[in-house]
Every structure is written in structure tokens, then in C-alpha cells.
Amino acid sequence: MSSFLDFEGVYDPKRNFAVTNWSDEDFVAVWKEDNGSDTTYVVHAGEVKTYPMYLAYYITKNLVDREMYKIANKSVADTKERERLEFAVANKELRKPFEDKTMQEVVEGQESPEVTAMRAKLRKELLASGELSGDMSSELNLNADGSQPEPEGDFAELPKKNKGGRPKKVTK
């Protein structure tokens, strides 16, 4: 259960990550360039953007810090309890769920995280507006390319049920 941010070594310039701002407000990151100038990166609320590895790590770390501190400050009035929650920002296991929903590696040959997020948002809007009928909502469980997902785990080898509801008799 390691985090993407548990990284030692040289950043790989070929690796890109999609950063999702799942919070309800825009996030602004300022990166200090080698020449001394500052570059500002804005990820709007609900937006998904792709960045090179070093920027994705930087933006993710700061976004997760901000959101964890916000949770600590608004959840408790007791000063000692708030301090305890603020110390949780440094706990890797408590940070991991926030990091996982913020950053995802972009892998060649797989659907881009931006497209996946856009597809989910459109499906949600269509279901809410009634334009997508109830029988079509089963498409939500399909793979990105429209194919049926493959069964996983110990049950992948079980025979599929026929229309009658009973499994086919297997004879050897």
C-alpha cells in the first residue's frame, strides 16, 4: 500500500500523470523555474489535467495538504483534536486515499483519465436529466470501449448462466 509520492530517485520525464481537483474550489500551484521565474498552474474544481511527473507530484502533495488541513479545521472545535488531525497530514496511510483520487498515471494504450472523468460526468448528467433511459444505465458497467468487463478473481473460470438462470450441466 505505497503511495505514488513515496518516490526516491530521478523523475522520469516520459511519465505523465493526470491530476484531478476533486475539491470544491480551484487550486493554484506556483512552480519556481530554474531561471528564477515563477510559473502558475491552475486546476479548476472538478477538472482533470495531465502534467509531467515532477509537476504532478508537486501539485498533488500541495492539494492533498490543503484539503486535509481544511478537513481538520472545520471538523473539530477542540484545539487538541484539531492539532491531532493536522498531524495526520504527515501520516502516509491517511494521505494515500486522498493521493489516489488526486493522481493517476497516464499509461499508453489505456483510456486517458481525462476522458474517463468526462465520460462519467456526461453519464451522470444524462441519467439525472432523464435522457439516458433506465435500461441503458447498465452501460455504466461496461469498459471504456463498450465491451463487457472480464470477470476477475476466483470466479472467472465459472461457467456463465444461460437465459434460464441455471448453469449449464458440465459433463466430463
User: Which tens digits make up the pLDDT trace of 45-85?
Assistant: 989 999 999 999 999 999 999 998 888 777 666 777 777 77
CA distances from 16 to 19, 86, 99, 115, 169 (A): 10, 30, 15, 15, 49
What share of the chain has pLDDT > 90, as a percent? 26
CB 11 within 8 A of CB 54: yes
| Contact yes or no for 70/86 (Cβ under 8 A) | no
Its pTM stands at 0.61
**What mean pLDDT is predicted for residues 8-17?**
80
Over the range 83-109, which residues count as b (16 or more CB within 10 Å of their CB) and which as e? eebeeebeeeeebbebbeebbbebeee
Percent above pLDDT 70 for the chain: 69
Higher pLDDT, 43 or 8: 43
Take residue 120 and report the three cell numbers written for it: 462519467
pLDDT higher than 80, residue 141: no
